[in-house]
């Protein structure tokens, strides 16, 4: 199924991007700790006067940190929406198709559901692809650069 393959590839890219964002977040946390140490040294020694340039750099840093946090949250939410487990019925339909159980072995109420499953699965995949398409990741590309 082409749609499922496309969805799997997108999910893989999102997971890799999320891992990259987590790394950036950790690096920025370490930089923030270094900045806190420098700030304490400045206060103790009064050697370095505060400058507008320092304030601008600090604001840019914290803005970027906020952007990364926002992008990470959006990505986590999107991944949850497109990878969350289906209903128990849908999971069982998938298993019935996977192990190739014959219709005669199924209860009559389940038989109709199994027949409808391929169409339902395609519909679910399309919905997930639509959800992904609705998200704008231009800002993420800018952040990750």
Task: Give per-residue pLDDT as tens, 76-93.
Answer: 998 998 888 778 888 888
CA–CA distance from 113 to each of 53, 110, 125, 127 (Å)?
Answer: 65, 5, 17, 19
Q: What is the pTM of this model?
A: 0.66
Query: Does residue 47 carry a pLDDT above 60?
Result: no
87 — phi, psi (to 5°)?
Answer: -65, 165
Cβ 94 vs Cβ 86: under 8 Å: yes
Q: Does the structure show a pLDDT above 80 at 42?
A: no
Q: Find out whether 132 and 10 touch, Cβ atoms under 8 Å.
A: yes
- Contact of 53 with 59, CB cutoff 8 Å: no
CA angle 129, 117, 110 (to 5 degrees): 145
Statement: residue 100 has pLDDT above 80: yes
Q: What is the pLDDT of residues 15-27, one digit of tens each?
A: 998 899 899 888 8
pLDDT top residue among 45 and 7? 7
For all residues of the chain together, what is the average pLDDT? Answer: 79
Query: So what's the pLDDT on residue 136?
Result: 67
pLDDT at residue 43 in the model? 60
The whole-angstrom separation of Cα 124 and Cα 74 is 21
Reported confidence tier of residue 107, pLDDT bands at 50, 70, 90: confident
């Amino acid at each position: 199924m082409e749609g499922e393959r496309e969805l799997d590839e997108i999910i893989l890219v999102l997971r890799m991007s999320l891992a990259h964002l987590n790394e950036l977040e950790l690096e920025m946390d370490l930089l923030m700790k270094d900045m806190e140490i420098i700030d304490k040294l400045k206060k103790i020694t009064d050697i370095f006067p505060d400058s507008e340039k320092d304030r601008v750099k600090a604001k840019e840093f914290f803005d970027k940190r906020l952007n990364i946090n926002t992008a990470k949250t959006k990505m986590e939410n999107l991944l949850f929406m497109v990878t969350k487990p289906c209903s128990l019925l849908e999971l069982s339909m998938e298993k019935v198709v996977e192990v190739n159980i014959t219709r005669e072995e199924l209860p009559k109420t389940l038989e109709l559901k199994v027949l409808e499953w391929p169409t339902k699965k395609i519909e679910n995949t399309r919905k997930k692809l639509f959800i992904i398409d609705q998200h704008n990741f231009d800002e993420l590309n800018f952040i990750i650069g």
